[in-house]
Amino acid sequence: MDEMEEELKCPVCGSFYREPIILPCSHNICLACARNILVQTPDAESPQSSRASGSGVSDYDYLDLDKMSLYSEADSGYGSYGGFVSAPTTPCQKSPNGVRVFPPAVPPQPQQQHLLPFPGGLPPIPRNSCITCPQCHRSLILDDRGLRGFPKNRVLEGVVDRYQQSKAAALKCQLCEKSPREATVMCEQCDVFYCDPCRLRCHPPRGPLAKHRLVPPAQGRISRRTSPRKLSTCTEHELENLSMYCVQCKTPVCYQCLEEGKHSTHEVKALGAMWKLHKGQLSQALNGLSDRATEAKEFLVQLRNMVQHIQENGVEFEACLVAQCDALIDALNRRKAQLLSRVNKEHEHKLKVVRDQISHCTVKLRQTTGLMEYCLEVIKENDPSGFLQISDALIRRVHMTEGQWGKGTLTPRMTSDFDLTLDSGPLLQSIHQLDFVQMKVPAAPILQLEECCTQNNSATLSWKQPPLSTIAVDGYILELDDGNGGVFREVYVGTETICTVDGLHFNSTYRSRVKAFNGSGVGQYSKTLVMQTSEIAWFVFDPASAHPDILLSNDNLTVTCNSYDDRVVMGNTAFSRGVHYWEITIDRYDNHPDPAFGIARGDVLKDVMLGKDDKAWAMYVDNNRSWFMHNNSHTNRTDGGIGKGATVGVLLDFTRGILIFLINDEQQGPVAFEGMEGLYYPAISLNRNVQVTLHTGLPIPDFYTPGEPDPNGSVC
C-alpha cells in the first residue's frame, strides 16, 4: 500500500486529495487547490476589468492565452487567484510539493485585508478565470459554472478514505505547512482536521464559523467513514442523476442531456454495462502490467546477484594481479600500482552501472506497483459513473506503463566478468610497456533478422556484436552453403556488419552464418539463418553490358538499336538452376529483319548476331521462318515468322538441361538445345528496324511438364 501513496496525493499541495475534481486532461486536483491556482484573465471589453486595471491597460491581445505567457512549461509556474488573501504575497511562492505558484497580477484591495473566510469556507469564482493542470500544463478557461463544471472524482476520494483509515497513525492537522501537528478537533461543516494553533488562526469561534460543530478527531474519522455517499449528479443538470454513458464523449450523462443537450445525437449505452466492460478492460490491462512487475522483481534479483559476482570477481582479479606483480622486480612494482588503479576503475564502473540500473528499475517498479494497487482499489469501487470517469485514463496509463517495460529495459547493462588478463611473459626491459591485453576471442555475432532479406536471387544479411560484449573485433566472416544443403563456403571477409550476396540460385534455400575474429583467434558462429530466394525471376536489360548502339527505355524493359547491324544486349540476372520462362513482344518490325533471341555467357560478342560465336544459343527469325543457331551453325529451319505484335517466348530448364522457344504461345520447332549447364544470361540481338519489350516473372507455360524428350525431339 505504501507504493500507492503517491497516487493519492495532490500535485499542488502534496497532501492526500480532498474533494478531488477531474480536469479535462484526466488528471486530478483538490477542489481547494484548484481555487488557489486560478488566474483571472483580463477582458479588454469588460468594464470591471477596465476599472481594476486603471489607466495602465494596453491594447494587448488577451484573446490568445499563449501570447499572455501566463504559464511556462519551462518553470512549471501557475497563476494564482488571490483576491481573498489577507496580505500581499511574495513575488514567487512554492506549494508543499515544490510547484511554483505566482501571485495575481492585480494587487489585493485594502478593504480585503483581515477579512474572515467566506461563508461556506470558499469565495466565489471570479469571471474569466483560467486554470492550468499542474501535471500536463494544459490551460482551460472556466465557463459560468466555474469549478462546478468539473466532475468530482468520488472513486479517488473513496480510495483515499480507505487508505487513511488503514493507517493506524494519529490524525494530523491539515493546515500545518511544514511539520503537521497532531489534530485536536475536526469541523464537521468544513470537513477539516485542525491543531490548536491552526484552529485559533483559521477557524475562530465567531461570525459564521461560530455555528460550526467541532468534534474530536477520532469521532470525525468515524463520521467520515459512515457518511452516506451521494448519488452522482450531472454537471450540466445538477438535479439529474447520471444514468447513461455517452460512447462518443466517453462520459456518463443524464436523461436530460440525451433529450436536450449536446449528447442527443450521440450513441449511448447503459451505465452498468459500460461499468462492467471498463472494469474488465482495466483488469485485463493489469494482468499484462502484473507480468511486467513480476519480471522486474526477478530482474532486480538478477542485478543484485550481479553485484555480488562483480565484487567476487573483482577481489579475485585483484588477488591474481597482486600475485603476478609481486613476483616481478622493483620496476614492475611501480607499474603494478597503475594496473591496480585501472582494475579498480573497471570494478567501480561496473558496480556503478549495475547499481544505477538497480536504482532506476526500483523506482520504476515502485511506480508500477503503486499504479497497480491504485487500479485494484479503483476496481473495488461500486460506483459505475465515478469509475467510468477515470477508467479510460487509467487504462491508458496502465498500457503506457506496461510499454515502459519494453524491449531492453530488463536487460543488464553490464557483465560481471572482467575481460582483462595480465600477460607476465615480457622481459624485464619491457616492463615499462606492460599493459593489459585481450586474450579472449570475440563472442558469436547476433543476426539482425529485421534487416535480413532476399530479393530476386540476392540475399542481404546484417549482424551485430552482443550488446554487453567489450572484446575487440577485427573483422567478420560470412558463410553460405550452396543452396542445396551442401557445405558452407566463405562469401565475405571484412569489417562491415552488412553484406549483400548476388548471383544466388533462384527458388533455392540457403543457410547462412557469421563469426567474428581478432588477434586471439576466431569466435563461435552465430545462429544459422535460412533464407529462400525468389521462385520466379524478375529482371531487365542491362545497360552496363549492352553494345553502345543499343537504346534502352521504359525502365530498361524496351530496347532498339541505332545501327543497321545486329547488336547484342543481355539481361541483368544470370541463371544456373531451376526452370525459367520470359517473353519478348515485338513493338516495331520494319523491312523484314532477323532478330535473335536466346541465352549467352557473360563474355559473348556484342557486335554480331546472337549465336554467331560459341558463347550464345539462339533462335533468329524473320517474317516467314526461323532457325536455331550456335557457334554460327544453323539448324532446324521451321516455318512461321513474326510481325508487329508477335510474342517470342524463351524457356530454359536446368533440371533437364534444355532450351525451348515459342512464338505466340506455340512451341517453335523441336527442343532447340540440350546439355545446358553453367551460368547463362538472357540475351537478344537486333538492329534499328526492330523494337521489343521484355516481360519477366511469368509462370511456366501450361503445355510444358517435367519429363524426358522423346526420340523425335519434342517435349513429352
Q: Which of 51-55, 481-485, 539-543 has the lowest mean pLDDT?
A: 51-55
Q: Which of 118-132, 373-387, 532-546, 695-709 has the lowest mean pLDDT?
A: 118-132
pLDDT of residue 118: 44
**Phi-psi region for residue 493, left (φ > 0), alpha (ψ -120 to 50) or beta?**
beta
Find the helix or strand (DSSP H, E) in which 299 lies: helix 271-326
Please count the other Cβ atoms lying within 10 Å of the Cβ belonging to residue 18.
16
pLDDT of residue 637: 93
What are 630-645's pLDDT values in tens digits?
Answer: 999 999 999 999 999 9
Select the more confidently predicted residue: 430 or 271. 271
pLDDT of residue 617: 96
pLDDT of residue 329: 67
Select the more confidently predicted residue: 499 or 427. 499
pLDDT of residue 688: 93
Distance CA 219, CA 506 (A): 86
- Tell me what percent of the residues of the chain surpass a pLDDT of 70: 79
pLDDT of residue 603: 93
Helix then strand then coil, in percent of the chain rounded to 5, is: 30, 25, 45
Task: Kindly tell me if the per-residue pLDDT of 261 is higher than 90.
Answer: no
Q: Cα 500 from chain centroid?
A: 27
Question: Helix, strand or coil for residue 378?
Answer: helix
Q: Mention every residue, 6+ apart, whose C-beta is less than 8 A from residue 335.
A: 325, 328, 431, 432, 434
Which grid cell is 149?
A: 463544471
Interval 596-625 mean pLDDT: 94
Reported confidence tier of residue 117, pLDDT bands at 50, 70, 90: very low
Single-letter amino acid code for the residue at 315: V
Q: Mention every residue, 6+ apart, whose C-beta is less than 8 A from residue 593.
A: 622, 686, 687, 689, 690
pLDDT of residue 553: 95
Reported confidence tier of residue 224, pLDDT bands at 50, 70, 90: low
Find the helix or strand (DSSP H, E) in which 563 lies: none
What are 557-575's pLDDT values in tens digits?
Answer: 999 999 999 999 999 999 8
Task: Kindly tell me if the per-residue pLDDT of 282 is higher than 60.
Answer: yes
Task: Kindly tell me if the per-residue pLDDT of 21 is higher than 50.
Answer: yes
pLDDT of residue 278: 86
Query: What is the pTM assigned to this prediction?
Result: 0.41
Distance CA 319, CA 90 (A): 62
Select the more confidently predicted residue: 626 or 160. 626
Radius of gyration, CA atoms only, the chain: 42
Reported confidence tier of residue 497, pLDDT bands at 50, 70, 90: very high
Q: How far apart are the first and last CA of the chain?
A: 82
Task: Kindly tell me if the per-residue pLDDT of 225 is higher than 60.
Answer: no
- Supply the mean pLDDT for the chain: 80
Task: Kindly tell me if the per-residue pLDDT of 714 is higher than 80.
Answer: no
pLDDT of residue 522: 93
Distance CA 584, CA 668 (A): 14
Dihedral sign from CA coordinates of 263, 264, 267, 270: positive
pLDDT of residue 429: 63
Where do we find the cell 455517452? 246
Single-letter amino acid code for the residue at 429: Q
- State the DSSP string of 229-269: PPPPB-SSSTTSB--EEETTTTEEE-HHHHHTSTTTTS-EE
pLDDT of residue 635: 93
Q: How many residues does the chain have?
A: 716
Question: Helix, strand or coil for residue 537?
Answer: coil
What are 229-254's pLDDT values in tens digits?
Answer: 556 777 777 777 788 888 888 888 88
